[in-house]
Structure 1
């Protein structure tokens, strides 16, 4: 604590001004200026911290990308991976999974390599079973049917569409 601070504290405790008012105005002005300078320094440090956090996130992302290059699945030949995809699609989901037709579509959303491989494997797209519950949903399935038709290539497309019948309370 400086002598000036001690004098100010003494004035606060005694309720009497121990120093002239002009001196206190100068001290107040200097303390306010110091506060402004500290605020500027804090802002600069916060900006620097934000920039460092951005750099850290980029570095972490780069690490994750590099680590993913070591994933065992990347060493599988495309024929094996394509066979795994085909097994996923041909596995009977039964009546429990009405969205089984989405499996090939989901495979195309993993990465560019899987998208390319899935889209170039016609057997993934050669069979589809849809169960729309209303006319709107049936219309929404048209682009999906087009996608399956175009990617099944030379293979015939087997399409099953079960329509929901309200009066019978089930699918036809």
Structure 2
């Protein structure tokens, strides 16, 4: 078995110190890059959200006349009026297709609210 001399042991200890210093530098660099990566992900998410919002403005349903949309709403809500009850049994839960439609966008909400026949 090989046993290092004092000068070799001293050199090995210095190499260990150097390695520890290099590891600390890499850890610092990794931490910095992780911060950059997190910021890039946040910006990407922000741009994706903006792109999705812009894309929704071109949605074909926006071109439907409100009268046609009203007919679609009436057909989809017929027989499903808003039922709110205090009955704690499962059959007492809210069945509110109209309410769901009113939460899609402000235009739909305004239409649903201004159309009593949907309620």
Q: In the TM superposition, what are the counterparts of 1:87-106 in structure 2 within 5 Å?
A: 87-90=75-78, 92=79, 101-106=95-100
Tell me by how many angstroms 1:102 deviates: 1.2
TM-score computed with the length of structure 2 as normaliser: 0.77
Structure 1: gaps spanning 5 or more residues = 1-13, 126-172
Higher strand proportion (structure 1 or 2): 1
Aligned CA RMSD, in angstroms, stands at 2.2
What residue number does 2:112 align with?
118
Give the Cα separation in 2 of the matches to 1:101 and 1:120.
20
1:100-132, Cα deviation, whole Å (9 max, x unpaired): 95121111121222111111111112xxxxxxx
Aligned match for 2:24, one of 16, 20, 36: 36
Provide the aligned length of Structure 1 versus Structure 2.
Answer: 107
Q: How far off is 1:62 after superposition?
A: 1.4
Give the greater-gyration-radius structure (CA): 1
Between the aligned partners of 1:35 and 1:47, the Cα distance in structure 2 is 18
Distance 1:71 1:102 in 2: 25
In structure 2, runs of 5+ residues without a counterpart are: 81-91
**TM-score, normalising length from structure 1?**
0.55
Stretches of 4+ moved more than 3 A in 1? 98-101
